[in-house]
Structure 1
Amino acid sequence: MTAAPLLWPEITVLERGWLSANNYLFQASGPDSAAALVDTGYCLHAEQTVALVQDSLGALPLARILNTHLHSDHCGGNAALQAAYPDVQTWIPPGEAAAVRVWDEERLSYRPTGQDCPRFRVEGLLQAGTEVMLGSRPWQVHAAPGHDPHSVILFEPERRLLISADALWEHGFGVVFPEIEGIHAFAEVGATLDIIEALQPAVVLPGHGALFTDVAAALTEARRKLTGFVADPRKHARYAAKVLLKYKLLEWQQIAAADALRWMLATPYFRTLHTRYFAADTPTAWAQSLVHELERSGAAAVQGGVLHNR
């Protein structure tokens, strides 16, 4: 985790790792200013998230939490922040408010991914086509389906700043989760990239990784990757499986290799990916191949029967 300096008078950038999405904290000067935080990281880092926000705000209250989407790495700190700031209002994209209110972990993806997210409440919706005040400036809300069907991105047109969530990183974009479930969404990824290009952002504040300004290069790389996934959906399926495993390994740091295999075989998205794309291999052989590929890439290591994060 690194805390970037105040790049603009109202924005504090809290650049996290890959387990927790970046957090963007907005403050405006004046007695009527209301602090807002965009995305809150993974639950494992919730205590750290609260500490970072409190250190930045001091005695000022946090008025709003905004989630670009409800994957566990973007909203896992919501509950802890709601406990620390009881009056905070939490706004999410439309489409999953009902699932949040009844806490349906299947629809919210936490059970299928084998990830955790403490239950939180919701008060408002980030409707596409509207604006939200962050600091003293209005930010446009744009629908950004693909990685997640309900995701939004936020754009400030005067300075041309884009909070892109997982729709665009400097070197790609997030796993296209609907594709795991057999729902065609590659076209939506492409359409969202077109929206970003049309907005012509000068600076992108991504869901993961450092801020970047060479948006044209990032879009070119993202489209190249998308073209490869469209041509060979199995390539995306294998990429998705390795990302899910690596993400959990970031949480575990180390685990008995046999326990990691058992976790994969018991986790719904791994079973779905195996059945849909890799049924020619036994489930165990396929799961073992994912571990071997992480080893070959340097992202993991097995030593003495223990799987280590690298």
Structure 2
Amino acid sequence: MKLPESIQVIERGWLSSNNVVLHARTGAVVVDSGYGAHVPQTLALLERVVAEKKLSRLVNTHCHSDHMGGNAAIRAKYGCRTSIPEGEAALIDDWDEQALILAIADQSAERFSYDDTFRDGDTLQMGGYDWQVIAAPGHDTHAVIFHSPDARVLISGDALWENGFGVVFPQLFGRDTALAETRATLEAIGRLEVDVVIPGHGRPFGDAGAALERAFYRLEGYEEDITRLARHCAKVMLSFALLEKRSMPLAELPAYVARVPILAELNSRYLRMTPAAMADWLVNELERAGAARRNDGRLHATGS
């Protein structure tokens, strides 16, 4: 498994998405910008990778906080053209924090401006290759993926990881077709000629077929029991908050899960626990998964 020389992946963690840098004589393009709390790190990493070359464009697969959180800072530093999926434009124009899953999830991002949009069926020139823009609804209704038939590379965002895909938020909060859309997106990926997948989180990988098998297996579990998806979402939300804060007082967790709107709504709709029971369950689940540990009355993140 080898990427073309013009494509460079800055692998991050789970709080910030990967940054994909595509080099060309006309300037570099970066796909996705990470989380706002990591902006200094993101800028330092990009400076090292881009060096004296010009960063000419910033592109987003979708507009969740961990993928667009560095947009404003990158745009300010490099003066680069910024392009987003067409479906995200109204949300960014209005800075719709609910639709963008910001304050309702105890997340943040600096508001930014963009120059243009792209849609399903468009072609972007990045890193010396033509990239097909392919709609990838599911995790985010307006998300896209980028496929280069010549390079046989897929930039998959959160539509496909090596072991799963991003939480299908819309299904939990009113879009009853989101799991079906996720299935259609995975099926569309399966029809592409791909040697290397660059996911939004995790390392690039080569066996797209095996990753799709795992993704379909996970999806079937959610289709059979929507509460599985709700439980997964709750764990992801607390884990993300913990990654940003690094630790949280255990005694304050019941109030936290009752106060943060997305956690409170998940509990009201699907889990139906007391806040104390939900907090205790979440702590046990994160510890069991190796994502957190208890020490000195606090819950500590173990990852990045």
Fold-level match, TM-score > 0.5?
yes
* Displacement after TM superposition at 1:108 (Å): 1.4
* Displacement after TM superposition at 1:122 (Å): 1.1
* Aligned Cα root-mean-square deviation (Å): 1.4
Contact preservation (8 Å) 1:132, 1:141? yes
Q: Which runs of 4+ in 1 moved over 3 A?
A: none
The equivalent residue for 2:172 is 180
Cα distance in 2 for partners of 1:60, 1:263 equals 45
Residue 27, structure 1, aligned to residue 2, structure 2: no
Q: 1:213 corresponds to which letter in structure 2?
A: G
Residue 74, structure 1, aligned to residue 70, structure 2: no
* Displacement after TM superposition at 1:22 (Å): 0.5
Contact preservation (8 Å) 1:20, 1:45? yes
**Where do 5+ consecutive residues of structure 1 fail to align?**
1-5
> What are the residue-to-residue correspondences of 1:31-180 with 2, within 5 Å?
33-85=26-78, 87-180=79-172
1:308 alignment partner, SS class: strand
Cα 1:54–1:138 shift into 2, 3 Å: same
Residue 258, structure 1, aligned to residue 254, structure 2: no
Cα distance in 2 for partners of 1:60, 1:214 equals 33
* Displacement after TM superposition at 1:104 (Å): 2.2
Cα distance in 2 for partners of 1:7, 1:228 equals 33
Q: 1:23 corresponds to which letter in structure 2?
A: N
* Displacement after TM superposition at 1:258 (Å): 2.5
2:86 alignment partner, SS class: coil
1:204 alignment partner, SS class: strand
Residue 189, structure 1, aligned to residue 185, structure 2: no
* Displacement after TM superposition at 1:75 (Å): 0.8
Q: 2:23 corresponds to which letter in structure 1?
A: Q
The equivalent residue for 2:260 is 267
**Where do 5+ consecutive residues of structure 2 fail to align?**
none
Cα distance in 1 for partners of 2:213, 2:113 equals 38
* Displacement after TM superposition at 1:294 (Å): 1.2
How many residue pairs get aligned? The number is 300
Cα distance in 2 for partners of 1:18, 1:124 equals 28
The equivalent residue for 1:218 is 211
2:57 alignment partner, SS class: strand
1:96 alignment partner, SS class: helix
The equivalent residue for 1:3 is none
* Displacement after TM superposition at 1:128 (Å): 0.7
* Displacement after TM superposition at 1:264 (Å): 2.1
Bigger shift: residues 247-256 or 138-147: 247-256
Bigger relative CO (Cα 8 Å, ≥ 6 apart): 2
Identity %: 46
Contact preservation (8 Å) 1:71, 1:108? yes
Deviations 1:112-162 (A, max 9, x none): 211111111111112110100102211000000001100000000012100
Deviations 1:1-36 (A, max 9, x none): xxxxx942211110111111111111113xxx1211
* Displacement after TM superposition at 1:63 (Å): 1.1
Deviations 1:84-122 (A, max 9, x none): 11x211111112212212322122111221111111111
Contact preservation (8 Å) 1:255, 1:308? yes
